[in-house]
Amino acid sequence: MTTLTKTEDTPAPTESGAFLSVRDLRVQFSTEDGIVKAVDGLSFDLERGQTLGIVGESGSGKSVTNLSILGLHNPKSTTIEGSIRLDGQELTDASGRQLERLRGNKMAMIFQDALTALSPYYTIGRQISEPYMKHTGASRKEARARAIEMLGKVGIPDPKARVDDYPHQFSGGMRQRAMIAMSLVCNPELLIADEPTTALDVTVQAQILDLLKDLQQEFGSAIILITHDLGVVANTADDLLVMYAGRAVERGSVREVLKQPQHPYTWGLLGSMPRLSSDVNEPLMPIPGSPPSLLNPPAGCAFNPRCAHVELVDGGRCANERPLLPAGRGAACHLSAEQRQQVFIEKIQPRLG
Ligand code: ADP
Ligand code: MG
């Protein structure tokens, strides 16, 4: 076990009563090279029926956060601190058995690649009905009927005939749908979708996202949608959390964050990402530099070595003092609201169009 030094820069954990409440989450891995601070003081809430988008470059801690919620990290090499409450139940100290019961029943995950989630050796129908039998005690016959029903819901044509197919008999898009059917078969109240459409072409992508929205309306589930594609969240999520180096740097409604982004990292992200609405020939502007090592993240604001605006802040605070993310709408940045407004209007908005 590793002892974590508590830093003063995140607000004290408070009870929120939200359906999912994550407070001051810290996830660290012990590796040969040292301690990787993969998630470093993350807090957010999510209510039933709502979708939270989490965006950030590769390596920013999105998947680690969600694997922590699902309880899927190896306890031997992982230290988890802080609180994860799902419907009032603390998950960070839940037993392996308790977590296993919750997974698939109360919470479920949709993976990026259906092939990692589906076994090639069993029929699609069996892979959907097994967890249903396990969690609900339904008979084999009932579970088969349920699998057919679920395949129909996710838009597999002729589900009665396809239920006995093996994964290799399905196209990539159909396998993704079958995996979604498997994740949703027990009506999970929390659904975590980690880059659910990255491997798919744009048309299938849009269909899968529409499907998630429909299923959310039907079941009232809370959804965490992890993506590096802002076009995807723009059309699907209610709230947005922008992550950088294991920390949340900005949060707000999707509309607010996309229309009036406040954090210099979010500005960079918006300029560097293709958007669904944009012209394919529009030049993208990558953020200069690269994400920091999480073995030894920069002091102060983790983004400061790449930020073009640090000289606007007095006393070298950006390199020394970690900025706080306010509760609700806001950004973890030492620029004043006026400075941000001015930079955004003069330099950023004209580029984003
Ligand atoms: P992403 O935002 O792309 O999903 P991840 O959450 O997967 O990023 O990873 C965050 C950081 O944690 C990365 O630097 C990654 O290399 C590191 N990491 C993830 N899992 C482990 C692990 N099991 N052991 C050590 N480091 C890990
Ligand atoms: Mg990931």
- Residue 253, in any domain of the structure: no
pLDDT of residue 228: 80
- Residue 203, in any domain of the structure: no
**Would you give per-residue pLDDT tens digits along the chain (353 residues)?**
444 444 434 454 456 789 999 999 999 999 999 999 999 999 999 999 999 999 998 899 999 999 999 999 988 899 999 999 999 999 999 999 999 999 978 999 988 777 778 999 999 999 999 999 998 999 999 999 999 999 998 889 999 999 999 999 999 889 988 998 999 899 899 999 998 877 677 777 787 888 888 889 888 999 999 988 888 888 899 999 999 999 999 999 999 999 999 999 999 998 887 654 555 556 677 888 999 999 999 999 999 999 999 999 999 999 999 999 998 999 999 999 999 999 999 988 888 76
- Residue 346, in any domain of the structure: yes
The position carrying tokens 């992982």 is: 78
Last residue of a domain, one of 172, 187, 202: 187
Does residue 54 contact residue 25 with C-beta atoms inside 8 Å?
no
Residue with the smallest CA separation from ligand 1 atom 6 is 61
- The minimum-distance atom of ligand 1 relative to the CA of 226 is 4
Pair 265, 347 in one domain: yes
Last residue of a domain, one of 187, 215, 238: 187
Residue 181 tokens, joined: 């059917």
Sheet holding 51-55, edge to edge: 107-110, 190-194, 222-226, 51-55, 239-244, 247-253, 330-331
pLDDT of residue 275: 55
Does residue 217 contact residue 28 with C-beta atoms inside 8 Å?
no
CA distances from 270 to 98, 231, 242, 292 (A): 40, 10, 11, 19
- Residue 183, in any domain of the structure: yes
Number of domain units in the chain: 2
- Residue 138, in any domain of the structure: yes
Domain enclosing residue 133, as ranges = 107-187
Residue with the smallest CA separation from ligand 1 atom 24 is 29
Residue with the smallest CA separation from ligand 1 atom 12 is 38
pLDDT of residue 352: 79
- Residue 270, in any domain of the structure: yes
CA distances from 348 to 309, 340, 343 (A): 12, 10, 7
Pair 264, 344 in one domain: yes
- The minimum-distance atom of ligand 1 relative to the CA of 74 is 23
- The minimum-distance atom of ligand 1 relative to the CA of 56 is 2
- Residue 293, in any domain of the structure: yes
pLDDT of residue 274: 63
Neighbours of ion ligand 2 (CB under 5 A): 62-63
Last residue of a domain, one of 187, 214, 240: 187
Q: Look at residues 242, 121, 117, 237 and name the one whose alpha carbon lies nearest to residue 184.
A: 117
Pair 267, 183 in one domain: no
Q: What distance in angstroms lies between residue 138's CA and the mean position of ligand 2's atoms? A: 34
Pairing of strands 51-55, 239-244: parallel
- Rounded-to-integer distance, Cα 325 and Cα 190, Å: 25
Residue with the smallest CA separation from ligand 1 atom 20 is 64
- Residue 199, in any domain of the structure: no
| Ligand 1 proximal residues by C-beta, below 6 Å | 29, 31, 36, 38, 56, 58-64, 294
